[in-house]
Amino acid sequence: MFDRIGENFHFNQTALSLRQQRQEVLAANIANADTPHYKARDFDFNKALQEALGGNGSMRLPPTELNLTSTRHIPAKAAAKGQAELLYRQPFQPSLDGNTVDMDVERVQFADNTARYQADLSIISQRLRSLRSVFEQ
């Protein structure tokens, strides 16, 4: 039963994870607004969501690395393709020092991503309240 509930929230969990990744990328752009030769990055959220969900709807696992507590242990690392492909943002007006961060664009994208993240959280919260009310009856 709980597997079906988990599957029900799979899409929302994936979307929140990607929104969080995008927030980090946008924050890095804003933080490096005055760094010479810094190139602004971003990714296509819709494309990343489709790739993360995969063709069969199963989310890819995050990167995993085993801790080695002995020299006789075999090192292992699971490569994950769950990270969104970062692209360079095309600047409207590149600066003379080679920095491509446009603060107006970054602020709008940051605010938009924040609002969408909050909306996703509200949807999940409402769905959890609905489930809780079903279980209480």
- pLDDT tens-place string over residues 3-38: 677 777 888 989 999 999 999 999 999 999 999 999
* pLDDT digit string, tens, across residues 119-133: 999 999 999 999 889
Q: What percent of the chain has pLDDT over 70?
A: 85
Q: What Rg, from alpha-carbon coordinates, does the chain have?
A: 19
pLDDT at residue 58, as a whole number: 47
Whole-number Å distance between alpha carbons of 137 and 131:
10
CA angle 38, 42, 44 (to 5 degrees): 160
Q: How far is CA 69 from each of CA 64, 73, 74, 75, 76, rounded to the nearest angstrom?
A: 16, 7, 10, 10, 13
- Contact (CB, 8 A) for 60 and 80: yes
| pLDDT, tens digit (0-9, with 9 covering 90-100), for 50-101 | 888 875 444 455 566 778 888 888 777 765 545 688 999 888 887 899 999 9
Residue pair 24/1 in contact (Cβ under 8 Å)? The answer is: no
Q: What is the pTM of this model?
A: 0.74
pLDDT of residue 79: 52
Tens-digit pLDDT profile for residues 102-116: 999 999 999 999 999
What pLDDT is attached to residue 66?
72
